[in-house]
Chain A
Amino acid sequence: MNPADLRYSSEHEWARLLDDGSVEIGITEFAAESLGDVVYVELPPVGGGLTQFEKMGEIESVKAVSDLFTPVSGRVLEVNERASDSPEVVNEDPYGAGWLIRASLDDASGLDRLMTADQYQEFLDSQAA
């Protein structure tokens, strides 16, 4: 199940608002499963700017290379070295240890442009139909 406390984008990324006002970003379980075994993750540099819904990196699986899009605008505060070094963690725990970057948030209302867990589930169901 997709955690209820996250917000989701139509590109299958999630954002988690942390207590200090920054957000953690990753890909959804659906994305991880569709991609198959992730073998390489290219993340933006710490300090780099992010523009909501634009490309922020790449993710490569045994099937294909796909773009990563950022669900929020802000600045990169931290990248998950573990996801770079051991990309299998993205498949194993996409909502936990498999997070990709932590970013500052330019504008909290950016989160309102994302889907709730229920809306994301509806979106997935409509895509599958």
Chain B
Amino acid sequence: MSGLMRELAAGRRRLLMDRSSPGRVGATLPPPDVPEQELPPDSELREDLDFPEVTESELVRYLAQLSQFNFSIDHNFYPLGSCTMKYNPKLNDEVASLPGLAQIHPLQPDDQVQGALRLMYELQGYLTEITGLAGTSLAPMAGADAELAGMLMIRAYHHERGEAWRRNVLIPDSAHGTNPASAAMSGFDVVELPSDAHGDTDLEALRASVGDDLAGLMITLPSTLGLFDSNILEVVRTVHEAGGLVYGDGANLNALLGRVKFGDLGFDVVHSNLHKTFTQPHGGGGPGAGPVIAGPTLVDYLPEPVVVRRASSDESAAYSKGRPVKSIGRMGAFHGNFGALVRAYSYISTLGREGIIQVSEDAVINANYILSELRDCFDLPYDRSCMHEVVFSARSMNRDHHVSALDVSKRLIDYGIHPPTMYFPLIVEQALMIEPTETESKETLDSFVAVMKEIAREAREEPHLLHEAPHDTPNTRVDEARAARRPELRWRRREAAEQDQGGEG
């Protein structure tokens, strides 16, 4: 790159404040038609308050350039494991922006919003059927909010039975961090459960951990290793025999849709991340939704509101907001994230029963295709068929060529592909967690496989390409450690910032 081109590229990375020029304005104001007023005394005025001084066109170009630095599922393949970055059909957005759905207010009387309530009622029904449980509340705002709701329900259940001493919640060592956090916030003590050599729940450890103090188990199925726990029936039985209840983290429901029902496995309460399984822009792109779905034991404890239908009443007042008899109360002010609920409803209605089954089938086939194509390039810590995602390890690569999972991920950016999830689950060293989702074609998967094979070759022969990656982005390798150790959280004049950073090399 020539000096001039480098300079121009650096110019495009400048923040708005750095593009400021004293006296420049973006709008022309009319002359004042009121008398001028005295300013307060200098001592009450700040002089250090900076505003960007730019023209309108400079501002628009700045924002347009920023938007081009963005990456989303609409740009390219996004195999970010555990996040289910499937393509979000535009039809869902169109439906969600219909005025009858987008411009209603949560405080409107029920008889004015029967259509919206009916949509919620039917979505509750879809989710209840898909999970094979007894009832659904759409109230929680996201997965972790639903976990909290579910654990509070389990707590309320034990307390009502006079068994408040049940304080222990078992959580596998592969779980998302939100699980122990939700259990702790609900007042439980967390007991970590190890995985066995196959990645399943260690049954011996489970049996040793259950006792009179057991409140329940939180388990993700398939697990965060992308594996279907072959011990799951025995796990549920063991917990129930000890008087505990089973919470199912439905983060990976995409792998089970239409094929396995949590209710059939004996789960007592689960949640579904609608923004993942049932498509929404997510990952910095929009609000989530995390309905909580309960079996017969816990259905009366669901958070309110739950939309109910009165069969005998006239159609204009058939649907209303109800409160389950032992409800734990509200998780938020209103009905949950309604726009997200509309998108999920639109998605499920579009696919129908057959389509829903094909989702999980294609998601699992795509992940296993990647597993079989890349197993010679990367370590496979659990060598068995996976579900909707596959967890590789860059352990040998790191040992032999000093190339880490981070380096592989950064290099993928140069090839225009979003990196996979890395260093998670924590029990896999140098983890690379790849979730292709069902919406990718074989051509896209083949192209990704070719890129990963090329990166594996580079790791052996030209490792510096990986260590320095990414090369073709507005910012190249960022110093993550320094960003965490000495975060610069607000813009400051260059001289001030440099002065403070001086002497730190």
Contact = CB atoms under 8 A, between A and B. Distances in A.
B484 A40 contact: yes
A24 interface: no
Interface in B447-505: 480-481, 484-485
A23 B181 CA distance: 33
A13 interface: no
Nearest to B399: A128
Nearest to A66: B426
Greatest chain A CB density within 10 A among B426, B429, B481 is at B481
Interface in A22-44: 34, 36-40
B423 A88 contact: no
Interface residue range, chain A: 10 to 19
A15 B424 CA distance: 30
B423 A63 contact: yes
A63 B481 CA distance: 10
A84 to B, nearest CB: 11
Interface in A45-95: 60, 62-64, 86-88
B426 A62 contact: no
A88 B484 CA distance: 11
Nearest to A60: B484
A88 B426 contact: no
A93 B275 CA distance: 45
A63 B423 CA distance: 6
B423 A39 contact: no
A8 B61 CA distance: 58
A64 B427 CA distance: 12
B499 to A, nearest CB: 19
B484 A39 contact: yes
Interface string B423-445: 11010010000000000000000
Contacts of B480: 37, 62
Contacts of A88: 481, 485
Contacts of A64: 423-424, 426
Contact of A62 (B424, B429, B484): B484
Nearest to A62: B480
A129 to B, nearest CB: 12
Nearest to B479: A37
A31 to B, nearest CB: 13
Nearest to A38: B481
Contacts of B424: 64
A49 B141 CA distance: 40
A87 B485 contact: yes
A8 B480 CA distance: 30
Contacts of B481: 36-39, 62, 88
A90 to B, nearest CB: 11
Contacts of A37: 480-481, 484
Contacts of B429: 34
23 contacts: A34-B429, A36-B481, A37-B480, A37-B481, A37-B484, A38-B481, A39-B481, A39-B484, A39-B485, A40-B484, A40-B485, A60-B484, A62-B480, A62-B481, A62-B484, A63-B423, A64-B423, A64-B424, A64-B426, A86-B485, A87-B485, A88-B481, A88-B485
Q: 9 nearest interchain CB pairs?
A: A37-B481, A39-B484, A63-B423, A62-B480, A39-B485, A62-B481, A39-B481, A64-B426, A87-B485
Interface of B: 423-424, 426, 429, 480-481, 484-485
Given A39-B484, A40-B484, A62-B480, 6 more contacts: A34-B429, A39-B481, A60-B484, A64-B424, A64-B426, A88-B481
